[in-house]
Amino acid sequence: MAEKEMRVEKHPVLGVMGRGRRVTIFLDGEPITACEGEPVAAALYAAGRRVTRYTRKGHEARGPFCMIGRCTECSMVLEGWGMVRTCMTPVREGMRIWTPGRKGG
Amino acid sequence: MKGDWEKVWEEARERPVALVDCRQEIPCNPCEEACRKGAIRVGEDLCSAPVYDPGRCDGCGRCVALCPGMAIFLLDRRGGDGQAEVTVPWEMCGEIVEGERIWAVDGKGKVLTEGKVVKIKWMGGRWPTRLVTIRIPEERALKVRGVRFRENSVGSSEEVDQEYDLPEDYPVCRCEDVSREEVLKFLKMGLRSLTALRRSSRVGLGYCQGIYCQEQLRKELGMVTRRSEEETGMFKVRPPVRPVKLGRLGGVNG
C-alpha cells in the first residue's frame, strides 16, 4: 500500500514515469518488493524503510539525505561488492543488502 | 564574476538582463545553445565555466529556462522605484499564481525577503520549466536564487534577517560521524590547518572523501582564523576520488 503512495507517477519535468518489473531484494535477509532499475534507496523508502545505516560513533539511525550520491548517508553493504551509495545503485533481482553499524551487530 | 554582476546591475536599468551564477566547472553547455545573441560562451572545453557578456544579453530568458542547474536568472530594474523584478526558473509541483505573495530565497534556501509574483511564463513547446517573475526591493535582487511558498517556510518576516547559527550537534562530517562540537574542540586546541583538522577529527577522511564536509570545515576554520576561503585553501586531493576496489583497477568486473 505504502508503495503506491511513495512512488512518483507523474513528474513535473520528466513526465509520466515508467516502472521496471517487480523483483525481490533482501534487506538484512528480509524480502522486499522493488522495481527493477530504480535506486535501492527509493525501493527501501517506498517499502517504508527509512533507516539505511547507523553512525559509527553514536550508533544513531541515518537515512537517505541528498539523494544524488554525494552525502553517503544512504551507504549500505551490498553483498558481493561492499559499501555502496544506495541512492545511486539500481535494483537488480535478488540483490542482498545489509544495514551497517547496528549496535552490537 | 563580481565585476560581471556590477555590469548586470547597471544594464538592468535599461532592460531585463540575465544574471549567470554558474560556479561549477561541469561538462554542460545548454546556456550557450540557448543564447541567440552569443552572450554566453562555454567554448571548446566543455568543462569550463561559461563566459558571459551582459552587454549582449537581450533578456529573452531562454537560458533561464534551459540551464539544468537553474543557475541563471533575470534582473530588471526598469521601474527605477527601488523595486526590482527578478525572474527565476520553477520546476516544482504545485500551482503558483500571479499576484501571490512568496518568499524570495538565496542559494542556500535562506529567506531574503517577501516578494510578489508578477508574471509566470512558459517557454513554450514541451519544455516544462516555468519562469516566475517576482517583485522585490532591489537591494536584495542580486542574491535571489529561487522562490518558496510562504506556508512551507519560516513563520514571519522577522526571521528573515537572522543568520544561520548551526547547532553544536550539527553533523559536519556524515561519513565519519563528526559533530560541529568536535570540530570546535580541535579548533580550541589550536589546530589551524585543514590537514591537521582532517587528521585529528577524521572530517574528510570518510567514504565521501570530503565532498560535503570540506566546505563546512573551511568555514569554521575561516571564522577562527579570520582568513578568506582562498587563504584557507582546500584539502589536498589524491586520486581516486571515490573508493575503488583494487580488483576494479586490475580489470576484474570491468
Give pTM, 2 decimals: 0.59
How big is the A-B interface in CB pairs under 8 Å?
36
Quick one: pLDDT at residue B208? 83
Quick one: pLDDT at residue B160? 46
Instruction: Summarize pLDDT for A83-102 with one digit per residue, the tens.
Output: 999 999 999 999 999 999 87
Q: Residue A41 is placed in which grid cell?
A: 534507496
What domains lie within chain B, and their CATH numbers? 2-155 (no CATH), 166-254 (1.10.10.1100)
C-alpha closest to that of B175 among B216, B142, B134, B131: B216
Of A13, A62, A70, the CB nearest to B211: A70
Give me the tens of pLDDT residue by residue for chain B, a chain 254 residues long.
455 888 999 999 999 999 999 987 888 999 999 999 999 999 888 888 899 999 999 999 999 999 999 999 999 999 989 999 999 999 887 677 888 888 899 988 888 998 999 999 887 767 788 899 999 999 999 999 999 877 644 444 444 444 457 888 888 998 899 999 999 999 888 888 898 999 999 999 888 888 889 988 998 888 888 777 788 888 887 776 677 778 778 876 64
Of B92, B176, B243, the CB nearest to A56: B176
Using CB atoms within 10 A of its CB, is residue B220 exposed (0-12), middle (13-18) or buried (19+)?
Answer: buried
Evaluated on CA atoms B226, B228, B231, B235, the torsion sign reads: positive
B172 to chain A: nearest residue by CA? Answer: A71
Distance CA B36, CA B32 (A): 8
Quick one: pLDDT at residue B93? 73
Quick one: pLDDT at residue A3? 47
Instruction: Summarize pLDDT for A14-71 with one digit per residue, the tens.
Output: 888 888 999 999 999 999 999 999 999 999 999 999 999 998 888 889 999 989 988 8
Q: Residue A91 is placed in which grid cell?
A: 535494483
Please tell me the distance in Å from B209's CA to the nearest CA on chain A: 10
CB B73 within 8 A of CB B64: yes
A69 to chain B: nearest residue by CA? Answer: B208
Q: Would you kindly state where each structural domain of chain A is located, as residue ranges?
A: 2-98
Within 10 angstroms of residue B22's Cβ, the number of other Cβ atoms is: 18
C-alpha closest to that of B213 among A45, A100, A87, A70: A70
What topology is assigned to A2-98 in CATH? Ubiquitin-like (UB roll) (3.10.20)
Band (A4; pLDDT cuts 50, 70, 90)? low
- Judged by CB atoms closer than 8 Å, whether chains meet at B175 and A72 is answered as yes
Distance CA B30, CA B197 (A): 40
CB B127 within 8 A of CB B62: no
Q: What are phi and psi of A4, to 5 degrees?
A: -65, -40
Torsion of the alpha carbons at B213, B180, A55 and A32, rounded to the nearest 10: -60
Using CB atoms within 10 A of its CB, is residue B62 exposed (0-12), middle (13-18) or buried (19+)?
Answer: buried
- Judged by CB atoms closer than 8 Å, whether chains meet at A71 and B207 is answered as no
